[in-house]
Structure formats: structure tokens, C-alpha cells
Structure 1
Amino acid sequence: MALAGAGLSAAALLALSWRKGLSPVTVVLAGLVLSLYAGSVSGVMVLFNHDLLIGLFLWGAGFLDQQDWSTAAFLAPRLAMLALAATLVLRPLVLLGLGEGGARSLGLSVAGVRLAGLVIAVMLAALSVAAVGVVSFVGLAAPTIVGMAGARRLGPRLLWATLCGAALLWATDALVLLAPVTYRELPTGAVTAVLGVPMLLWLLPHLRTTAPPVTSTAAPPPRAHRPALLLAAGALLLPLALWAAVAAGRGPDGWEWSAGGALAAVEPWRLPRALAALSGGAMLAVAGATLQRMTGNPLAAPEILGVSSGAILGVIVLMFSTEASGRGAQILAGGAGAAAVLAAMLALGHRDGFSPDRLLLAGIATSSISGVVVAVLMAGHDPRLQTLVTWLSGSTYMVGPTDALATALLAGLAVAAIPFVARWLDLLPLGGGVAAALGVSPPLSRAVLFSLSALLTAAATLIVGPLSFVGLMGPHLARMMGLQRAAAHLAGSALLGGLVMLAADWLGRGMIFPYQVPAGLLASVIGGPFLLWLLGRR
């Protein structure tokens, strides 16, 4: 089944990116959206079938316990064949590093080489996951460590990265077996991330920043002729959408429209969560748009900051260290965790001028820890995790009036800050040298923008959970509508992100009444195919 799922995902990825000649940006962006979408669908299944999926949690955390040699016998010949295939495409891949123009001038089929490389990579990942589950961090850490050690040519990097990844996982499994009996049941994949992430963070200051290979860039979407008019129409739509989300709902007698006294009766229950969903989506979309423009990376999204992961870890520590944890205590614990990660990221960034690549890589490494911790805890079948699962799914069920007002205030402040940072976000994508020549300090502006994005992400995460998919989807939807300048792009991202989350909360409240689907999961399940469709049209 795992191989079938990998095949379907790979087919969808190829269908979305083939028109662009398997452009790396298109492939990675489509892959990220597909990954988030698959995770959201599985999250819905987990939410409603938690007790039946304990084995899946263990497998998902990289559980390497074996009863015989069957798994090794299954992997060995297939790995040998794929290694031979990788050797055959090694020289074309080296030529591809010269850029599309140079590769084509030498008679290379760029799309064909990319297709061959993708097929090999997908098959390697699918076989590994099918055999031993999801092993975190090794695929990121091994190539990075080998690159830092001095391997520059592709051939040696492939060889040494393979050996390094094998050594990392073998050493971690040996440590697990040497641990006391109580800890030997820990999934090896989880321990790999826990041990490897600090090592990667320690090595990051020594990472050489290299320019990406030259690739063809897709033509930008057409620019909106009247962005102010478009934004004004969206701003007028917001209160109407909020009113409709509160008035329309599903009750024991089916769908109904509340007015007058009936509206006043349901307003205390529906308005806070609707307002929180709208505001949380807007904040995450602004954070995502800021990150994408600051780094020039269309894949940048709030979840890779690591701040939401700090909030998750703070809430987990609270849940397992106290008997009772109310809403206020959860917000304080999550805020403390987010603040600790933010302080660590700022300290790391201060050493190298807030290099965007290193900040994003550090955020990804930090985020992997929280994902592993959650997977291990889910495998433990602790009843206290049901509340955590609901919050992680992006549920607005527990939002009260105070939470909603605080979220709306923060979202308003975020929108008000757009004019003050718009010039930075227009100039930073041109490069640090150009920005500095025009009077912008890249280290200072990046520090401020990173802090703003992190604070917005932390606030939204604490109130309505880590709804990070909106932080990726909102900015891309705004750009596809023609909002290209920074101010219009951020404002449009806020409007679209808020509307997407508001619609998801409304649908999740009534789709399977009296049960509810968390807004975060529903936004991913519904918005994912739409974003993929838009990507396919580009």
C-alpha cells in the first residue's frame, strides 16, 4: 500500500510539473503541497479512528524492530538496482548543474534527466518507507554533513551521503539497543531526529552558502491593473462573509439561516470561533508572504520557522507535567516554548547576518523534533493526547470571546504594519547588495521581518493551532490574482488566508453535524486540490 501511495503521489507530481519541463521550483512546490494534503487527509482519519491506528503511529515514527531477515532481503536487490540506475544518470545530472541553457547546448534532454532522477529518488524513498517506516532527518542531514565535510562533486557526494545516512541510522539504532530496557521501545527514526537535529544546528554556522543552479523561471502571473480596487472589494467581502458564517449553520432540523432572536442565541457560540479562524488565517498568510518575499523562496511557510514547533512542545510539556491544564495555562506554556525557539533562532541568525537559507534550514530541523515527539506520544496511546490531537488539527472549538478578540487585534496590527515593511520586501528579493545600495540594511530588515513572522505564527498557533497550510496557500493565491507589489501582496494574502480559514471553519462546523471537522484540516483537504489546480494551470 505504501508503494501504491508513493506511485499515485509521483504520478500527480509529474502531471502537475510536466508542462514546466519538471522545473525544480514547480516540482518541489507541488511536492510540498501534495505532502501537506496527504498529511491532512491522514490527520482526518487519525482524528476519527485514533484507537485503531496505533500500529500506524509506530511505523510512522520509524520503528526498526525486525523478526527475521526478510526486510533486508527485500531491500538489498532493489537498492543495488537503483544504485546502478543512479550511476547511469550521474554524468547527465552533473551536466544539468550547468544550467538549462548549457545542458541543452550539449545535447542533453533536461526534462528526461529530471524525470529519471525523480523516478530513482521516489523509488528509493518509497521502498525505505514501506520497509521500515518514516525515518526523520537522515535525508536532510546526511547530504548536508557530507557537503560540509568537503564533498563537492556529485559522484563522491552520492557515495558518501549514502554511507553517512546508513551510519547515522545504524549508530542510532545501536544506541537504542544499548539503552535501559524501559527505553528500548522508542522508535529509532524518532531518536535519529532527536540526536541529529542538535548536531545539524551546531554545524549550521559552518555551512557554506552556495548559489542554486541556474534554471528557467516561470513567467510571473499577470499583474492586476487595479490592485487597490481588488483589495477594497475583498475588504468589503470580509464582514459579509463573517455575518454569513455566523447566521448560516446546521441544527437538529438541518441547515438553517438565523436572524433576529435566533441569531442572538447562536452568536456567542459561533462568532468567537469564526472571528478567530478569520484572524488566524490572516496572520499565518501574512507570515507566509513575508517569508517568501524575504527569502525569495516560494516554498517558505510558517511551519518551517520552528516557532510553532516550540509552542507545540511547550503545550506537551505542560500536559505531561501537571494534572490539569486549562486554556490559560496552555497559552502560557505554548508562548514560553515559542519564545524560547524564537530567541534561539535570533541568536543563531545574529552570527551570520540572518542568512535566509540558514534560518529556514534551522527552522526545518527544529520542526522535525516536535513532529517526532508527537508521533512517539501518539504511539503511546495516552488518553491525554486527544486534546492535543484536536488542537494540532487546527480546531477552533475551544476559542472563547477573549481569545477571538485578542487574535483579531493582533491580525489588525499585522495589517497595519504592512506599509512600514513593504519597501523592505520589495527590495530584499533583488539581493542584499542592491538593497544595501538603496539604503536598506539586510541584517536589520531580515531580523525585524523574521521576528514579525515568528510572532504572528506563534500567536495564531497558540489560539487556533498550527494551521500552517494557509500560510503557504494564501500568498500563492494572492500572487496568482496579480498582486505582485509587496504591500498589495501581503494585504491580499491576509484577505485570502482569512477567507479560506473562515470558510473551512463554517464547513467543518456543519458537514457532519453534530460532529465537527477541525478548520485547519478541512482548509488543507479542500484548499489543497484547488492550489494544485492553479499550479497545474501556470
Structure 2
Amino acid sequence: MSESTLDLSAPRSGLPLGPAICTLLLTILAGLLVFHGLQGALPRDLWWQALWSPNLDDVRQVLLHFSFFPRLAVSLMAGAALALAGTLFQQILRNPLAEPVTLGVSAGANLALSAATIFAPTLLVHGLEAVTLTGAALAACLLFAFAWGRTLSPLRFILAGMVISLYCVSLNALLVLFNHDYLIDLLLWQAGSLNQSGWDGVLYLAPRLAVAMVIALLMVRPLAALGLEDEGAAAVGVNLLRTRVMGLAVTVALSAFVTSAVGMLAFVGLAAPAIARLCGARTLRQRLIWAPLLGAALLCVVDQIARELSRFAGEIPAGILTGVFSVPLLLWLLSRQRSGGIVPRLAPAKPQREHPWRLIIGAAILLGLLTLPAIYFAVDANGWHWGDAGLSDAILQWRLPRVLGSLAAGAMLAVAGLLVQRLTGNPMASPEVLGATSGSAIAVLVLFLVMPQPQAYMVPAASIGALLTLGLLLWFAWRKTFNAERLLLTGVCLTTLLHSLSTLLLASGDPRMTAMMSWMTGSTYQVDVLSATTGLLVGAVMIGVSLLLARPLDLLTLGNGTATALGLRLRLSHLTILLTAAVLTATATIIVGPLSFVGLIGPHIARHLGVRRAAPQVLLSAVAGALIMVVADWLGRNIAYPWPVSAGLLAAFIGCPYFLWLMHRERKG
């Protein structure tokens, strides 16, 4: 089966809980929370008056009329709009992981807002809509420019969308780091704040959502045909290009409208359509009806909980809690689903290279040649210069540990990415996407919040976090079969959760968290001799272990049945590979923080260069990851001297364009 084949049908063994009952339960919960909020704000006999004709001399009625009720209406409409956008994206691209966030559309709109705020604030005088539409449209155009081929490949679209999203998020984080005081309020709002000070947001979203819903229902028949292969859809008379363009225009516009109104609300566009589908909404028409209703109820519940929590912990954006409360529900439904969805298959981009070891040796030599200038060539108050004897102490104390730590972290994350990609048979898998780095980072954050001297416990805490995360993934995978879609959805949940928490912590103003945010963006600023040496030793040992796993890794690409027939003990192999990936991820996270992208791009570089066997792929992926991180660390120390730029952000700048270029070259080929 080709990589473009996806099973988007409802599970064969339908759940007893249908979409109508699920929507009703969420609606009842939302109603109870709304009733509780109203009960504590105003006597019951004044609710109707506060809604339609408030007494302006009564502060409580004014707050209900201009804040509580508009916020309630906006939460319902924003949830419905995101769920509708996610449903359309998933249908058009035939991929259950497609939504505005995973495809980079929301990140593009967010980046456009930040850039306009800094460089062209006059563009915001007449509203945010034009700016967010432009950003979302540019992200969508980039997505199709790099991912569209002769046929629709869902995996290629998700990979390109994730890369574009990472790139936009990195750019946005860079703007925040350099303009922290100026963008801190915008950052908190971008996390998904549903606070309202009037009915403008309701009047803005209502007609746009209504028009989008009407257009989607009018396009049900051609959109339903897109669930077939391109040849089958064309055979029944569907104009593929026109249908996709119109459908995508609606989804991009909806994403931009919601972003301009309330910021970026992650996960709703993924969770609501998935819940509707898993509850038994089998046809597109059913999902177009039930997914927006589920999304509206889901976001309303989350926002009411956020409003209650804000009384005790300060303002908590609803976007931060969408993942927290959607994850358990979605994962429970996933555990009830039969296997299916994304087909786990890693097709090589090029034929097997005849002499991969020559390429590996050449890449290693290049890494060695770049390491020397990374250590000795730098800029300071006197300009650029090559280090001399007088700088030997500074070089040994500051530069050498950072370079060696970057080298070790990049190599370990790249190898960990290769292990999980080989294990799941899916090119989207990596420590970042599967939540392993998220688990390590959350454990370290909790450690810093509860321990007065946390440094001595960072390695055990990060290892435990990664192991618990991968253990959760393993448990979900082993309940029925080792299902790639279930792994990816679980990882997306955990990664979304970490991003939400990190945004809240950055906006909190806690000095400890400000320092941790630098670490969470992949900073090598605090790498010392001990941590660099530890990283090199652990990396060498675990990469050696990965080489010993070459035979199981090669056999797993043949399929579980064939691998078992050839004598491979599947569960033992799965557990060993996951443990190795967990140790590699945890150690790299301790050194430079929860980096994004390196674990995804390193294996792809090796694969696109024609290296197919596991052993040479391990070595070439390690060298590629090390190269990216060494160059990123050198740029981070020098391009904005004396202000350091996180190597993790610059790794995305280096890796993203190269990855998209490789994808574009493969598409043209």
C-alpha cells in the first residue's frame, strides 16, 4: 500500500457512545459550569436582564453582559470553527492528523501578528484580520509548494506542515526573546485567550462561521469524493483542483479568523473531528454536523474551567487548557478504536547508495573541520578574530563545552529520531513529535518548581519523564497492535501540552521560568565541562547500542509478520529500542533543553542521501544532527553578539529550508 493511502472510515466495531450522546454529555457539562458561574455572579432572576438590557449602574450585570456572555458565545463559535476547519483539512488531505496547527496555518497567522506588531504596527490599525489572513495564506502556499506532487501524499503534507509550523514557531520565539517586554501581552493572548470586553468578537465570528458552514455543506458531495484516491474521484466527475482550492480557502480563512479573534487554540481542530469519527460519525455529512457541535461544547467546557481556575491562579488562557482536558478524552476513544489510519511505511527516497561508508567518512571529516572554527573563530568587542593563546582559558571554559555539548546533543537526538522512525515505520515520528522531549522537559520543570537545588537531580528526572512518556506510548501501542496513528496522536497530545505550559510559564514572569525558557528553546548557554563530557560519553555508548540493534531495525522495516518469521522477538525489540531512544533523548534534553526538529531532520537527511541500511543510517544521522547543532551553536553565539540566540531556534533555521528543499526535489523527481 502506498504512503498516500489512509483509512478514514469509522471503526468497524462502533462505540456504544454515539456522537449525539457524546455531544449531549459535553453540553450538559458545559451547562453546569455556566450555571455555576452565573450562580456565583448574580441572582437567578437577573440573568435575563443582564443578557438583554443590563442595568449599567450594577457592576455585576455589566460584567455579565459585556464579558461573561460574549466570552461564552465566542468560545462556542471558535470551537465550532476550528472543528469545521479540522474536518475539512482531514477530508481534503485524507489524513486524520491534519488540522490548522499541524499544517502550520495557525503558526503562520501567529507569526504574522508578531511581525506586524514589531515591524509594521500601522497594519493593525484597521484590525487583525488582514494580517492573520496573509500569514495563514502564505503558510498554506508554502505547504502546497513543497508538498504537492503528482498524487496527493498525506504523509508528505503532514511532514511539510510540521516543518513549516516549527519554522514559524521558532521565528515567533526569536521575536519574543528579543522583544520580551514588548510582546509579552501579545504572547499571552496568542496562547488562546477568550476574554471579551464587548460583543465585537461575536459579531465578527458569527457571520464568517455561518458562511463557511453553508459553503462546506454545499460542497459535501465533491468533498466526500476526495476521500477516494485521485483517480477514483476524477472518475466520478469531481474537479480535484477546484474542489481542493475552494475547500482549503475555507479552512485557511476559518483558521485566520479564529486566530485574529482569540489567538491560537491548539488541539480543538484535531480532537473534535477525531472524537466525532471515533464515536461513529461515518460519513462526511455527519462529521460536518457533529464535529463543530463537539468542538463548540469542548471549548466551552475548557474555557469555563479556565475561568474558574483564573480566580485562584491568575489569568489562564483557554488555549493552554484545551490540550490538558482534550487529551484524556481523545486517548480513551483511541484506545477503543481498531487499528487503522496512517499506513506505517518508510519508503526510501533514493536507491541504496553503493558505498555509504565513504559518505559517512566524508561527513565526519566535514564535522571535524567545522568544529575547529566553531571553537576558535568568534566575534567579541574587538570584532572577528581567531582564538590565540591569550584566549585559551576562555576557550576551554566557555566555547569548548558548548561546542562539544551541541555536538553530542545533536547526534543523540538524530539517532533517537531514527530509532523511533524505524520502530513505527513512519517518517513523522521523532522524539519531539512522540513527546519524549516533552516528557523530559516537563519533569525538569516540575523539578525546578519543587526542589531548592534541582541541578543534581536533572538527569534522573529527565530520564524518568522520557521513560514515562514512551511507556505511555508503548502501553497504547500494545493494547491491540503497534499502531502508528495511535502513537503519533498520543505524541501530538503531549507535545501540545508542553507548548501550552511553556507559554503560560513564560508569561507568568517567574524569574526561574524566564531562565528555563531559554533552556527550553535549546540554549547551550549553561553547558559546562561536566555536562559536555557526560553527553559525549553517554552518546558514544548509546549510539554503540543503536548499532548493535541494526538487525532488529532492518527486520522491522519488513513488517511485523516477516520479522517474527525470521526469528525476531518483537516485544523485546520494541522495548529495547524505546529504552535506547529514551536515554538518548533524556541526556540530550538535559544538555541543551527540549530541542525541536533535529530528531526529525537528521534521519531524513540520511535517507534522502540514499543510505538505507540501519547501521550506516545510525552513523550518518548522528553526524548530520551534530553538524546542524554545531553550526547552530556557533551562529547563536555570534550573529547577535553580545546577546546569545538559542541554538535550538537556529537549528530550525538551518534544517527547515534544507528539509523543504529535499522534499521539493523529491516531489519534482
**1:282-361 correspondence to structure 2 within 5 Å:** 282-322=411-451, 324-325=452-453, 327-361=455-489
What CA distance in whole angstroms lies between the structure 2 residues aligned with 1:305 and 1:25?
A: 16
1:162 matched residue in structure 2: 292
CA contact (8 A) 1:354 1:446 kept: no
- 1:396-431 superposed Cα distances (whole Å, 9 cap, x missing partner): 111111111111112212321233222332232333
1:462 matched residue in structure 2: 590
Distance 1:265 1:124, change over 3 A: closer
What CA distance in whole angstroms lies between the structure 2 residues aligned with 1:225 and 1:428?
A: 22
Given the alignment, which residue of 264, 268, 291 partners 1:138? 268
2:397 matched residue in structure 1: 268
**1:90-101 correspondence to structure 2 within 5 Å:** 90-101=220-231
CA contact (8 A) 1:354 1:443 kept: no
Distance 1:157 1:450, change over 3 A: farther
1:33 matched residue in structure 2: 163
Given the alignment, which residue of 185, 190, 203 partners 1:73? 203
CA contact (8 A) 1:292 1:300 kept: yes
| Secondary structure of 1:430 counterpart | coil
**1:238-277 correspondence to structure 2 within 5 Å:** 238-260=367-389, 262-263=391-392, 265-277=394-406
Q: Which runs of 5+ in 1 are unaligned?
A: none
Give 1:435 shift: 2.3
1:393 matched residue in structure 2: 521
1:50 matched residue in structure 2: 180
Distance 1:469 1:382, change over 3 A: same
What CA distance in whole angstroms lies between the structure 1 residues aligned with 2:405 and 2:659?
A: 23
What CA distance in whole angstroms lies between the structure 1 residues aligned with 2:398 and 2:417?
A: 30
What CA distance in whole angstroms lies between the structure 1 residues aligned with 2:428 and 2:243?
A: 23
Moved more, 373-382 or 161-170: 373-382
What CA distance in whole angstroms lies between the structure 1 residues aligned with 2:308 and 2:533?
A: 52
Distance 1:246 1:124, change over 3 A: same
2:499 matched residue in structure 1: 371
1:490 matched residue in structure 2: 618
Moved more, 487-496 or 22-31: 22-31
What CA distance in whole angstroms lies between the structure 2 residues aligned with 1:240 and 1:440?
A: 41
1:125 matched residue in structure 2: 255
2:105 matched residue in structure 1: none
Give 1:238 shift: 2.9
Bigger Rg over Cα: 2
Which has the higher relative contact order, 1 or 2, with Cα contacts under 8 A spaced 6 or more apart?
1
What CA distance in whole angstroms lies between the structure 1 residues aligned with 2:649 and 2:308?
A: 39
What CA distance in whole angstroms lies between the structure 1 residues aligned with 2:321 and 2:415?
A: 34
What CA distance in whole angstroms lies between the structure 2 residues aligned with 1:190 and 1:264?
A: 45
2:361 matched residue in structure 1: 232
- 1:155-191 superposed Cα distances (whole Å, 9 cap, x missing partner): 2122211111111011222334455732573212222
Give 1:370 shift: 1.8
CA contact (8 A) 1:2 1:130 kept: yes
Moved more, 248-257 or 14-23: 14-23
Distance 1:425 1:332, change over 3 A: closer
Give 1:506 shift: 1.1
| Secondary structure of 1:280 counterpart | helix
- 1:69-101 superposed Cα distances (whole Å, 9 cap, x missing partner): 211211122112222222233323332323233
Distance 1:213 1:305, change over 3 A: closer
| Letter matched to residue 68 of structure 1 | G
**Aligned Cα RMSD in Å?**
2.5
| Secondary structure of 2:350 counterpart | coil
- 1:187-224 superposed Cα distances (whole Å, 9 cap, x missing partner): 12222222222233333321222244899x99823432
Given the alignment, which residue of 517, 539, 548 partners 1:411? 539
- 1:364-418 superposed Cα distances (whole Å, 9 cap, x missing partner): 2122222211122222222222211110111111111111111111221232123
| Secondary structure of 1:304 counterpart | coil
Alignment of 1:443 with 2:564, yes or no, is no
What CA distance in whole angstroms lies between the structure 2 residues aligned with 1:218 and 1:421?
A: 20
Given the alignment, which residue of 11, 14, 34 partners 2:144? 14
1:537 matched residue in structure 2: 665
| Letter matched to residue 529 of structure 1 | P
Alignment of 1:5 with 2:143, yes or no, is no
Moved more, 369-378 or 271-280: 369-378
1:191 matched residue in structure 2: 321
| Secondary structure of 2:231 counterpart | helix
| Secondary structure of 1:225 counterpart | coil
| Secondary structure of 2:374 counterpart | helix
Moved more, 17-26 or 246-255: 17-26
Alignment of 1:434 with 2:562, yes or no, is yes
Give 1:112 shift: 4.1
What CA distance in whole angstroms lies between the structure 1 residues aligned with 2:306 and 2:373?
A: 55
CA contact (8 A) 2:220 2:284 kept: yes
Distance 1:516 1:179, change over 3 A: closer
CA contact (8 A) 1:21 1:110 kept: no
What CA distance in whole angstroms lies between the structure 1 residues aligned with 2:476 and 2:152?
A: 35
Give the TM-score normalised by the residue count of structure 1: 0.92
| Letter matched to residue 418 of structure 1 | S
Moved more, 35-44 or 331-340: 331-340
CA contact (8 A) 2:348 2:610 kept: no
| Letter matched to residue 318 of structure 1 | L
| Letter matched to residue 352 of structure 2 | R
CA contact (8 A) 1:425 1:486 kept: yes
Given the alignment, which residue of 528, 533, 536 partners 2:656? 528
2:216 matched residue in structure 1: 86
- 1:13-40 superposed Cα distances (whole Å, 9 cap, x missing partner): 2222344455322222211111000111
What CA distance in whole angstroms lies between the structure 1 residues aligned with 2:462 and 2:182?
A: 29
| Secondary structure of 2:500 counterpart | helix
1:202 matched residue in structure 2: 332
Give 1:243 shift: 2.3
What CA distance in whole angstroms lies between the structure 2 residues aligned with 1:385 and 1:20?
A: 47
- 1:441-486 superposed Cα distances (whole Å, 9 cap, x missing partner): 3333223222222221121111111112111111122222111222
Moved more, 396-405 or 374-383: 374-383
| Secondary structure of 2:645 counterpart | coil
What CA distance in whole angstroms lies between the structure 1 residues aligned with 2:321 and 2:555?
A: 42
Give 1:9 shift: 0.9
Q: Which runs of 5+ in 2 are unaligned?
A: 1-130
Give 1:54 shift: 2.1
Moved more, 160-169 or 187-196: 187-196
Give 1:68 shift: 1.5
| Secondary structure of 2:480 counterpart | coil
What CA distance in whole angstroms lies between the structure 2 residues aligned with 1:173 and 1:83?
A: 23
| Secondary structure of 1:255 counterpart | strand
What CA distance in whole angstroms lies between the structure 2 residues aligned with 1:113 and 1:24?
A: 17
What CA distance in whole angstroms lies between the structure 1 residues aligned with 2:208 and 2:430?
A: 35
